[in-house]
Amino acid sequence: MGLRISRRRVIAAVALAALLAAIGGAVAFQAAKKAEAQRSKPKTDVTLEFAPGDLVRVESRPLARWLPVSGAIQAARQATVKAKVGGEVRQLSVREGETVQAGQMIARIDTADLEARLAERQGALESARAQLALAEKTRAMNNRLLSEKFISQNAYDGAQSSHDVAVGSVKSAEAQVRLAQNALKDATVAAPLSGTVAKRHVQAGEKVAVESPLVTIVDLVDLELAALVPASDVPELATGMPVELAVDGFGERRFRGIIGRISPSTEPGTRAFLVYVALRNADAALRSGMFATGRIALAASVPAATLPLAAVRSEAGQTFVWTIDAGKLARRVVVTGRRDDEAGIVEIRTALPAGSTVLAARFDNLKEGATVVVRGGASSTNAGAAPRAPG
């Protein structure tokens, strides 16, 4: 009885194992069949879609050229007023930053010694005139005596010589008086030009010598910038050409000037010329010594192959563009030349395949060889269109 039960259990276990094996084999077969079907299914490439405004072509356009200039602004007219006579400064009526007019009294030097000298020179003149009057009388008398044969010709010649000496003495004394009068006049110092006092070199009460500086006056209405320009660029410059300047401290404000003068020779030790830019400062906003940078517009270059600046990318030291050739995306390394920032274009010196279009803006996750479709027709050359993300 026990033996029959054991044999039934063994047969049932064997049958169950066979059933499970059959089910497992069927599942494995289906899985293998499905995997084979997946492997045999053709792969589909990712397709990128762009609008016509996303694309540009290489265009032949002239590029604007600019010559940069920089330097310190200086007043075109300035003067350091110096003392013409020595003495004590009695009065100094101006201070730094004050405006003065041409002819205005700015300083006065003590005149006591000058007045005494003038009086001395006037006394010497009176004495010389008295000597001349006596010499004239003596000459007249000797002339009469000579005609009456009372004196010799030599005696008359001596009287004539004394008269001539007296005349010279009078002229010399008159010149000395005029010098003393001029010195007395020079004791009152006047401004030689209208402008602003930049520096006061002395104070009231100090003694000054002849040619000692008193004050420095600058005229801020007309300013000038001296800029060094390479000799190769000088032939393209001419007086009257406009110059645009940006001055430190004035933000986006721009000042307009013109080329006023060009130096006829290079600066020592350089191969550059000094170009003087004249700048009108009607509102007195600028000051002497401010630093300015600017540029001079030169004649446009001959037409060259160009692309928009946004179409050119740089990565890992390489400059490249993304082109579409025969419906495929291609990465082309290019060499760029001059830039025209105002027009937003750059010269492309590398020849691109004929008929290829270029992505006009930056896109992410681009892969070379990807299929490209342009929606809405042929590519456009409008570089200003808004970029669209590829689909």
Amino acid occupying residue 233: D
* CATH dotted code for 219-298: 2.40.30.170
- The closest alpha carbon to 365, from 312, 311, 322, 319, belongs to 322
Contact assessment for residue 257 and residue 320, using Cβ atoms and an 8 Å cutoff: no
CA 322, CA 134: separation in Å to the nearest integer?
111
H or E stretch covering 118: helix 112-147
Cα separations (Å) of 354 from 57, 209, 211, 261, 323?
10, 82, 77, 49, 11
Q: Where in the chain is the domain with CATH 1.10.287.470?
A: 111-186
CA 339, CA 281: separation in Å to the nearest integer?
32
* CATH dotted code for 52-62+302-374: 2.40.420.20
Per-residue pLDDT of the chain (391 residues; tens, 9 = 90+): 444 556 677 676 666 776 767 776 666 667 666 666 555 544 455 678 888 888 888 888 888 778 889 999 999 999 999 999 999 999 999 999 999 999 999 999 998 888 888 899 999 999 999 988 988 888 888 888 878 778 788 888 888 888 888 899 999 999 999 998 988 898 999 999 999 999 999 999 999 999 999 999 999 999 999 999 999 888 889 999 999 999 998 988 999 999 999 999 998 888 899 999 999 998 889 998 999 999 888 877 778 888 888 888 888 888 888 888 888 888 888 888 878 877 888 888 888 876 678 888 778 778 888 888 887 654 433 333 333 434 3
* CATH dotted code for 111-186: 1.10.287.470
Question: How does DSSP classify residue 196?
Answer: E
- The closest alpha carbon to 365, from 46, 44, 43, belongs to 46
Q: Where in the chain is the domain with CATH 2.40.420.20?
A: 52-62+302-374
CA 382, CA 13: separation in Å to the nearest integer?
80
Amino acid occupying residue 221: V
Q: Where in the chain is the domain with CATH 2.40.30.170?
A: 219-298
What CA dihedral angle connects 348, 349, 354 and 359, to 10 degrees? -30
- CA 337 centroid distance within chain: 23
Determine the Cα angle at 278 with ends 65 and 266, to 5°: 70
